[in-house]
Amino acid sequence: MKIYLSVRKGQQSKKSFEKGKPKMNSLFLMYHDEENKKRNYEFLRLYLYDKPKNFLEKEHNKETQLLAESIRAQKILDLQSRKHGFVSSVSGKIGFLEYFKQTTDKKCEVNGTWGSWLSTYKHLNSFCKGKDIPLSKIDDFFLENFKIYLLTNKISSHGGKLSQNSALSYFNKVKTALKEAYQSRMISENPSLRVKSIKEKETSRQYLTLGELQTLVKTDCDYPIMKEAFVFSVLTGLRFSDIKPLRWKNITFDKLNGYMLKFTQQKTKGVENLPISEQAVKNLGERKKDDDLIFENLIYSAYHNKILHKWISNAGIDKHITFHCARHSFATLQLTMDTDIYTVSKLLGHRHLKTTEIYAKVIDKKKIDAVANMPDLFL
Neighbours of 112 (CB within 10 A): 18
Distance from C-alpha of 323 to C-alpha of 210, rounded to nearest angstrom: 16
Which pLDDT does position 264 carry in this prediction? 85
Whether residue 313 is predicted with pLDDT greater than 70 in this model: the reply is: yes
> Cβ neighbours of residue 145 under 8 Å, at least 6 residues apart?
127
CB atoms inside a 10 Å sphere around CB 298: 19
**How many other CB atoms are found less than 10 A from the CB of residue 150?**
24
Q: How far apart are CA 333 and CA 321, in angstroms?
A: 16
Q: Is 366 exposed, middle or buried (0-12, 13-18, 19+ CB in 10 A)?
A: middle
Mean pLDDT, range 219-248, rounded to an integer: 94
* Mean pLDDT score, 269-275: 84
What was the pLDDT predicted at 130?
85
Give residue 86's pLDDT band: very low, low, confident or very high (50, 70, 90): low
Round the average pLDDT of the chain to a whole number and report it.
84
Contacts for 151 with CB less than 8 Å, ≥ 6 apart: 161, 162, 164, 167, 198
Decide: 289 and 187 in contact? Cβ < 8 Å: no
Residue ranges of domains in the chain, CATH in brackets: 2-86 (no CATH), 96-194 (1.10.150), 210-371 (1.10.443.10)
Question: Strand pairing of 38-49 and 271-275?
Answer: unpaired
DSSP reduced 3-state for 150: helix
Which pLDDT belongs to residue 375? Answer: 65
| Range in 9-18, 228-237, 248-257, 327-336 the model is least confident about | 9-18
pLDDT of 231 higher than 60? yes
Burial 286-296 (b: 16+ CB within 10 A, else e): eeeeeeeebbe
pLDDT at 16 over 50: no
- d(CA 152, CA 61) in angstroms, rounded, equals 50
Q: pLDDT at residue 159 above 50?
A: yes
Kind plus residue range of the DSSP H or E element containing 354: helix 353-372
- The backbone region for 95, taken as left when phi is positive above 0, alpha when psi lies in -120 to 50, beta otherwise, is beta
pLDDT tens-digit readout, 173-212: 999 999 998 888 788 889 999 999 998 876 667 889 999 9
